[in-house]
Amino acid sequence: MSTINEFLSLKDFTSIVFDNNKVDVSDAVINRVEESFNFLKEFSGNKVIYGVNTGFGPMAQYRIKDEDRLQLQYNLIRSHSSGTGKPLSPIYVKSAILARLNTLSLGNSGVHPSLIHLMKEFINRDITPLIFEHGGVGASGDLVQLAHLALTLIGEGEVFYKGERRSTKEVFEIEGLQPINVEIREGLALMNGTSVMTGIGIVNVYNAEKVLDWSVKISCAINELVQAYDDHLSEELNGVKHHFGQQEIARKMRNHLADSSLVRKREDHLYSGDNTEDVFKEKVQEYYSLRCVPQILGPVLDTINGVAKVLENEINSANDNPIIDVKNKHVYHGGNFHGDYISLEMDKLKIVVAKLTMLAERQLNYLLNSKINEILPPFVNLGTLGFNFGMQGVQFTAVSTTAESQTLSNPMYVHSIPNNNDNQDIVSMGTNAAVMAGKVVENAFEVLAIELITVVQAIDALGFKNEVSSTTKSIYDEVRKIVPEFKEDMVMYPFVQKVKDYLMA
């Protein structure tokens, strides 16, 4: 059980989303939410407060009659439930609900406590609102996507429940739940915010960390296969480049390869003084995709860490408008809903993961091209050359998937299109950026799955099964449970999918 209180760490957040830990809300949270609600109700009595007694966006110049205030919130929710495209995955939606729950729990939004209670029940009972990929421009936050969340919280719309898409009303009857009490600004407070892009972003970071870990491990295995020299991983060499990520990746690789009998020391060969050839048989240096792994994956690690910090800050921030300040007895109008922080970080994330994917594709090409590696049969074909095809077919998939990620990695952050009668004249496109980043991360798993199958085939081709490091051997054994050694051609797509699932688990 994880409790929403003062600060929700990214670690606790992901334990709820991925490990199915139940979420609880402390009494302190309920008290401050209720205090905020009561203050706003009293404070707004004879003042002009945006979204309480005014219209929305460019229509804020119109006063709303007191008797129409509650209907105003329903009108906002229903009119903006206008998303299209594919439904967001359940894990994205669960993450988004938790992000919204946490920010509304800060007591800066003036919402009714029933909202906090019902969102908690959605998470704990695995009720997934139907939210679509397309809709929000990330300026007043995730207006359209969060409207779909709000729609289910008022008992309307649709949800996914026990694997089925059903009406929210039906599921509420089954679970004995009641819609929220819409009082002052429940619609606006739910919809004005960055919680969908942030929730998706946290899932993306969680998966990107896995992708990076696998990329390091596979890169180590390839260095073993070619019996590379270990000085490019040395603490001495990487220590003179003052970047944490590079030094950490090199350290991880040294640890992985510590008990390998294949990786060589330069002093035992090229520094021995016994080599008098004019054309060296021993390779003096490896290709960049093998030798420069710390320099390539180091920035990936540093970027993932930086993105994670921004996301943690965002889930613990008040990101709607206006902001209710109970302590100073004031209501502040501004733009905390704007998604530029998240949009930029999602662009950074997809750029570095696309680069990681490019590294994997080049390493794969190295293994498949016998003219380059000079140690393996073409396409790591363990069957009859010319008659069998080995890994030839799946290379096309890896290349096309990598190309897609390269295009998707172009930034959304700079693609602002004014809308909303030019009230939203510069926007973040943060949700688009987050969805695209998720696709790039998933693509990386697909390319790594193909690369890993090729690696284990190469280990068998070279007879190195008992010479690789213990970590590589453990991975080899796990993959061989999924993909037996093969010489004859077989349908590859089920095996690629199963290895991808293994990498993502």
Dihedral, CA atoms, 424, 430, 431, 437, nearest 10 degrees?
Answer: 160
Which contiguous run of DSSP H or E holds residue 4? Answer: strand 2-4
Distances (CA, A) of 222 to 287, 365, 378, 445: 11, 12, 16, 17
Q: Degrees (nearest 5) of the Cα angle 414, 418, 422?
A: 150
Q: And the tokens for 49?
A: 């407060």
Please report, in angstroms and rounded to a whole number, the separation of the first and last CA atoms in the chain. 22
The answer to whether the CB of 57 falls within 8 A of the CB of 76 is no
Closest CA to 148 of 79, 246, 102, 90: 79
Q: Degrees (nearest 5) of the Cα angle 225, 230, 231?
A: 150
Dihedral, CA atoms, 327, 331, 335, 337, nearest 10 degrees?
Answer: 70
Catalytic residue among 50, 206, 476, 502: 50
Distances (CA, A) of 302 to 9, 144, 173, 232, 249: 19, 32, 48, 20, 10
- Cα 496 to chain centroid, rounded: 21
Q: Degrees (nearest 5) of the Cα angle 286, 297, 230?
A: 35
What values do phi and psi take at 337, rounded to 5? -80, -10
Q: And the tokens for 46?
A: 């004879």
| Nearby residues of 313 by Cβ (< 8 Å), 6 or more positions away | 341
50 is catalytic: yes
Q: And the tokens for 311?
A: 């996301």
In terms of phi and psi (left: phi > 0; alpha: psi -120 to 50; beta: otherwise), the region of 329 is: left
In terms of phi and psi (left: phi > 0; alpha: psi -120 to 50; beta: otherwise), the region of 288 is: alpha
Polymer length in residues for the chain? 505
| Nearby residues of 193 by Cβ (< 8 Å), 6 or more positions away | 100, 103, 141, 142, 146, 319, 320, 337
Return the DSSP state at 88: P
CB atoms within 10 A of CB 408: 19
Return the DSSP state at 386: T
**Residues annotated as part of the active site:** 50
